[in-house]
Amino acid sequence: MRTNYDVIIIGSGIVGSLTARYLSAYDINILVVEKESDVGMNTSSANSAIIHSGYDPAPNTLKAAMNSLGNRLWHTLAPELGIAFKESGSYVVAIGAGELPVLRGLYERGIANSIPGLKIINKAEFLTREPLINPDVSGALWAPTAAVIDPFGAVLAAAENAVVNGAEYLFETEFTGFISGGDKITGIKTTRGDFSCKWVVNSAGIHSGEIAKKAGTRKDFIITPRKGSYLVFDPVKLSINNVLFPVPTDKGKGTLVSTTTHGNVMIGPNNEPCENMDDSATTRAGVEEVLKGAKKLVPSIDQKNVIAMYAGIRASGNAGRDFVIDIPVEIKGLVNLCGIESPGFASAPAIALKVVELLKSAGFELKEKPGWVPVRKPAPHLHTLSLKERAELTAKNPAYGRIVCRCEEITEGEIIDAMRSPVPARTYDGIKRRTWLGTGRCQGSFDMPRVIQIMAREMGIPETEVTKKGGGSEIVFRKTKEVPAR
Amino acid sequence: MKKIYDVVVIGAGPAGLAAAIEAKKSGAGDVLIIERNNEPGGILLQCIHNGFGSVIFKKDLPGPAYAWNFIEQARSLNVEMVFDTMVVDITGGRKIYASNSVEGFIELDAKAIVLAMGCRERTRAQIMAPGDRPAGVFTAGMVQRLVNIEGYMPGKNFVILGSGDIGMIMARRLTLEGAKVIKIIELLPYLTGLRRNYVQCLQDFGIPLELSTTIKRITGKKRVEAVETVRVDETLTPIAGTERVIACDSLILSVGLVPENELSRKAGVVLDPLTLGPVVDETMATNVPGIFAAGNVVTIYDLVDYVSMAGATAGISAAKFAAGAPVSPPAFTLTPGDGVRTVMPQKITGLSGPDASVLVELRASREFAGRVSVNILEDENIVYSHVEKYARPAEMITLKINWNETAKKLSNNKSGLKVNIAKI
């Protein structure tokens, strides 16, 4: 592969991958380097999955501007890239009379941020919209432009579209330092060698602060990672009609209750300190806090029906609690995208377009590429299709007939699609995130032995080299009866 | 494959095989078993340890040998079997939709259906085991399949959470394959599996069992590096200061089984919130006419022999239904009373069988150390009683009741009967 690029993007989360996607419209060479084994493995795939409407950020901040523009962009971008996206709207729910005035404050902030359609609705009306709500509900703020997204699916869609349009991705490749010549960055060092470039985009999420510092920029900027835990429920046991936020506190937007694009109720997050930058371990106290928070809104939530739990890390910065999106003055050739915490996902398309704008205004020549393909057609998810459509697809490709994951009814054909896509799945978790395999009640205990076989066959490797999430996470290590080395 | 069958059985495990065999023997013409695995036998195939068949065969057989008896019979009776095929939908009108890679998408009609999908294992989230999410956290049944069928070792140093039978059996199995099983920990203050497995699988191999202990945290970014255990008090609350970190590369969860009823739900079958399986009568009929159920899909059994017996009953009933025999509505309900957690069947027609014999399977809700009587009550009036040496939640109690005799004692014309366990 080549070693010189026009733009190198550090980090393949939603910000990095959408930046790659929008830049792929121009006649330049783009490389995305990612230390993990797949796109979007950290904050971008473990978050609330909400495209916030934008009433929450303080007016006249970057967060406010990016959120409201980002929200508008997502409504056309999601269908364009074939991303699961539910135009659900959202509610902030006041419990008890004491919380009611908060809704008025949020409403006014939303008006200041030019958010369309906001409305405060009364208790009686809200009870008809969400029968499971705490009967002490006193009112709710309706934000019709909020939406629910498949967050990993969105990152993957952006990355695949970027790759189809010529961008390159390198996984398990960690940034180790900048190469600079005089007052300008000329490349980066990685665990897979050096690459030269004209511009570096620092979209490294929780590590973006350290990287900015390595370039001699943003010396006072510190990211203090904060954990948020989430619990996912069996769809048969619990169903909620709407996206429900509690009234916010100083600690953030609070523990929400919503239904994912896949149809599971999800609750979270809380707000816990991390032991280190990569600490995404769930804790008993954190899980209990999330349950308690969610029960405030929906008292009938029962932990017995939880099928999965995980935590994500917020890249909370100290820049007045606002995003950092700029070309620093200290050195040329760098765009810093730091502290992209909530509403980062909602803001991501606006941030990516802002990068394009910043590069243009810095004099970087961006010439539109003929034949840019902005549309991505996703691989089929058979369980979302009608019986007739399934029959038709299976007739064309018999692998769509062999169901490997019994709970989510994921077929061998879908697994093979995931492994042959423009950003192919190379790990068990990669297949899981792309297909929803193993995400149901049995959490993969039925499918895993079968998937290991399919992966080994597709990748031409022995089963002992199949990993869950990249090197070091092998699942089986030897054949039985092979005498272990002493 | 045909378009219409007399009896279609979902699942070729012990319940499904017995159902298909008895349906054939009872005169059903076309009997089909649809199986998602690539061969018949169900979970028995990975249970290569012995301990199967003591009731039916009066022998101590390994799982595959037990299954083989039924597979051979099914084949000789020309039961049609289709493998690597998953049923994706069943309607209340007994239309079945299935899918495989040979015939593609399959649609067929059944005059009667036997649900025999078995059960699945409870997982990490259901026991709220927090921490990282590395490779190396497995359910016991998955490890059993990897080791005994696929032939792979999924780790070197194991901790097992849960003293259920599969966990103990896998502790022995992994030890025999050269792995180190550091210990088994159990949340409850008592063993949740069979005592014979404790003796044969743990004691005989020097594997320690620690009761009243759970997992506080799983550590490891890529692969499990350690688990942190913590003691719990009698309310199952962790006791601060009793944490211990155990270095290991694998954690096996053997924390219980759940009947697998997604298809039953789609067909409109009513489930019992306690067993989590269909509400059935002693003929194994569900509330949906022509849909029967048997085995672990109905309630979690200890002994496969009783699964086969329930399967046989379901098969006979399905064949009768397919032949157009009249349906007798249930006359009685059976619900758990004091000391009983689950009871199956939940309904009794009181008309079935030549000797009107009814098999009732129940589980105690708590430990009874001494002799107990298991009673069926009409109001306060005991209409049936049976003595056991003890009762434990871990061990299913099977009552074989002659309903003709019992019915004579029913005086108050009450349809609601209770089952209780009382100390003697």
B366–chain A nearest CA distance, Å: 20
Contacts B126 to A, Cβ<8 Å: 304, 306-307
Residue A387: pLDDT band with limits 50, 70, 90: confident
B117 and B128 belong to one structural domain: no
Cross-chain Cβ contact B101/A387 below 8 Å: no
B222 with A470: Cβ contact below 8 A: yes
Average per-residue pLDDT for chain A? 94
pLDDT value, residue B354? 58
Q: Using 50, 70 and 90 to split pLDDT, how confident is the model at A485?
A: low
* Structure confidence at residue A481 (pLDDT): 84
Q: Which residue has the tokens 């002693």?
A: B282
Chain A closest-CA separation from residue B14 CA (Å): 18
CA distance A342 to A52: 9
Residues 6+ apart with CB under 8 A from A465: A456, A474
pLDDT the model gives residue A483: 67
pLDDT tens profile B139-164: 999 999 999 999 999 999 999 999 99
Q: What is the pLDDT of residue B379?
A: 87
Peptide bond preceding A135 in cis form (omega within 30 of 0): no
Same domain for B166 and B106: no
Structure tokens, A480: 């039985």
| Residues of A carrying an active site annotation | 52
Smallest Cα distance from A473 to chain B, Å = 5
Q: Which of B105, B156, B221, B258 to mutate to test the interface with A (most CBs of A within 10 A)?
A: B105
Higher pLDDT, A253 or A23: A23
Virtual torsion, Cα B123, B127, B131, B132, nearest 10 deg = 0
Instruction: List, for residues A92-107, the tens digit of each pLDDT value.
Output: 999 999 999 999 999 9
B157-161 and B340-344 strand pairing: unpaired
| Per-residue pLDDT at B409 | 86
Query: Which DSSP category does B38 fall into?
Result: S
Q: Which residues in chain A are closer than 8 Å to B150, comparing Cβ atoms?
A: 449, 452-453, 463, 476
Same domain? B382 vs B423: yes
CB A63 within 8 A of CB A340: no
Pull the structure tokens for residue B241.
């200061």
Q: Which residue, among B213, B209, B189, B201, has the nearest Cα to B127 in the 3D structure?
A: B213
Q: Are B291 and B113 in contact (CB under 8 A)?
A: yes
Q: Which residues contact B323 (CB under 8 A, 6 or more apart)?
A: B6, B27, B28
Among all residues of chain A, which has the CA nearest to that of B133? A281
Write a three-state SS string for chain A: CCCEEEEEEECCCHHHHHHHHHHCCECCCEEEECCCCCCCCCHHHCCCCEECCCCCCCCCCHHHHHHHHHHHHHHHHHHHCCCCEECCCEEEEEECHHHHHHHHHHHHHHHHCCCCCCEEEEHHHHHHHCCCCCCCEEEEEEECCCEEECHHHHHHHHHHHHHHCCCEEECCCCEEEEEEECCEEEEEEECCEEEEEEEEEECCHHHHHHHHHHCCCCCCCCCCCEEEEEEEECCCCCCCCCEEEECCECCECCCEEEECCCCCEEEECCCEECCCCCCCCCCHHHHHHHHHHHHHHCCCCCHHHEEEEEEEEECCCCCCCCCEEECCCCCECEEEEECCCCCHHHHHHHHHHHHHHHHHHCCCCCCECCCCCCCCCCCCCHHHCCHHHHHHHHHHCHHHHCEEECCCCEEHHHHHHHHCCCCCCCCHHHHHHHHCCCCCCCCCCCCHHHHHHHHHHHHCCCHHHCECCCCCCECCCEECCCCCCC
Distance CA A335, CA A202 (A): 6
Q: Which residue of B lies nearest to A235 if distances are taken between CA atoms? A: B262
Nearest CA to CA, how far is A307 from chain B (Å)?
5
Q: Identify the CA nearest to A20 among candidates A142, A131, A165.
A: A165
| pLDDT class of A484 with cuts at 50, 70, 90 | low
Residue A486 has what pLDDT? 56
Tell me how many residue pairs between chain A and chain B have CB atoms under 8 A apart. Answer: 157
The token pair at A207 is 């590590």
CA B269 to chain centroid, in Å, comes to 18
Out of B277, B292, B327, a domain closes at B327
Q: What is the pLDDT of residue A360?
A: 97
Q: Do residues A454 and B116 lie in contact, with contact meaning Cβ atoms separated by under 8 Å?
A: no
What does the pLDDT read at residue B69?
97
Phi, psi of B111 (to 5 degrees): -75, -30
Q: Which residues of A touch B223 (CB under 8 A)?
A: 472-474
Assess whether B149 and B35 both reside in one domain: no
B280 and B336 assigned to the same domain? no
Structure confidence at residue A441 (pLDDT)? 81
Question: B365 CB near a chain A CB, below 8 Å?
Answer: no
Which residue ranges form the domains of chain A, and what is each CATH number? 4-44+151-223+318-361 (3.50.50.60), 90-144+224-314 (3.30.9.10), 382-465 (1.10.10)
C-alpha distances out from residue B357 to B348, B352, B354, Å: 11, 7, 7
B78's CB contacts (< 8 A; 6+ apart) are: B24
Q: How far is A313 from chain B (nearest CA, A)?
A: 13
Quick: pLDDT tens for B396-423. Answer: 999 999 988 888 888 766 689 999 999 9
* B55 and B67 Cβ atoms separated by less than 8 Å: no
Sign of the C-alpha dihedral, residues A424, A430, A434, A437? positive
Same structural domain, B71 and B169: no
- Residues making up chain A, counted from first to last: 486
Which of A207, A206, A82 has its CA nearest to residue A156?
A: A82
Q: How far apart are CA B97 and CA B106, in angstroms?
A: 6
Q: Please report how many Cα atoms fall inside a 13 Å half-sphere around the Cα of residue A354, on the Cβ side.
A: 23
* B 373-412 residues with CB < 8 A to A: none
Sign of CA dihedral B345, B349, B350, B355: negative
User: CB contact, 8 Å: A320 with chain B?
Assistant: no
What is the tens place of the pLDDT at every residue in B101-131?
Answer: 988 889 999 999 999 999 999 988 888 889 9
- Map tokens 């769930």 to a residue: A282
Q: Does A469 touch chain B (CB under 8 A)?
A: yes
3-class DSSP assignment, residue B380: coil
Same-domain status, B3 and B37 = yes
**Interchain contact, B36 vs A406, CB within 8 Å:** yes
Residues B239 and B276 grouped into a single domain: no
- Are B14 and B105 contained in the same domain? yes
Identify all chain B residues contacting A469, using CB atoms and an 8 Å cutoff: 134-135, 222
CB contact under 8 A, A468 and B135: yes
Asked whether residue B387 falls in the same domain as residue B240, the answer is no
CB contact under 8 Å between A282 and B142, yes or no, is no
Q: What is the pLDDT of residues B335-351, one digit of tens each?
A: 999 999 999 999 999 87
Regarding whether B127 and B234 lie in a shared domain, the answer is yes
Q: Cα separation of B416 and B335, whole Å?
A: 8
Q: How many domains does chain B have?
A: 3
Is the separation of the CB atoms in A423 and A155 below 8 Å? no
CA distance A13 to A15: 5
**Residues near A363 by beta carbon (within 8 Å), at least 6 away in sequence:** none
Domain boundary among B327, B359, B376: B327
d(CA A343, CA A110): 14
Three state DSSP letters for A386-423: CHHHHHHHHHHCHHHHCEEECCCCEEHHHHHHHHCCCC
Amino acid residing at B359: L
Segment A333-347 shows an average pLDDT of 96
Residue B20 in tokens: 């298909």
Query: Residues B56-66: what's their mean pLDDT?
Result: 97
Fill in the DSSP letter of residue B326. P
Out of B327, B350, B368, pick the residue that ends a domain.
B327
| Biggest alpha carbon–alpha carbon distance for chain A | 72
| CATH number of the domain to which B9 belongs | 3.50.50.60
The reply to whether B304 and B344 lie within a common domain is: no
How confident is the model at residue B408, as a pLDDT?
Answer: 84
Does residue B15 carry a pLDDT above 90?
Answer: yes
Asked if the model's pLDDT at residue B189 lies above 60, the reply is yes
B265 to chain A: which residues are within 8 Å by CB? Answer: 236
Residue range(s) defining the domain that contains residue B51: 1-121+257-327
Which of B36, B101, B141 is nearest residue A398 as measured by Cβ atoms?
A: B101
Find the CATH number of the domain harbouring B419. Answer: 2.60.40
Q: Is A380 exposed, middle or buried (0-12, 13-18, 19+ CB in 10 A)?
A: middle
B142 SS3 class: helix
Residue A62 pLDDT class (50, 70, 90 cuts): very high
The CA distance from B263 to B281, in Å, is 19
**Which residue of B lies nearest to A470 if distances are taken between CA atoms?**
B222
Chain B neighbors of A230, CB-CB under 8 A: none
Residue whose entry in the numeric block shows the structure tokens 């068990």: A428
C-alpha distance from A400 to closest chain B C-alpha (Å): 7
CB neighbours (10 Å) of residue B196? 11
Is residue B366 predicted with pLDDT exceeding 70? yes
- Is A1 an interface residue toward B (CB < 8 Å)? no
Measured distance between the N- and C-terminal CA atoms of chain B, rounded to whole angstroms: 57
Predicted confidence (pLDDT) per residue in A132-169, tens digit: 999 999 999 999 999 999 999 999 999 999 999 999 99
- Chain A contact for B120 (CB, 8 A cutoff): yes
Contacts with B245 (C-beta within 8 Å, 6 or more apart), sequence order: B219, B226, B227, B228
- Of chain A residues 264-303, which have a CB less than 8 A from chain B? 278, 280-284, 286-287, 303
- Give the torsion through C-alpha atoms of A406, A407, A412, A415, to 10 deg: -150
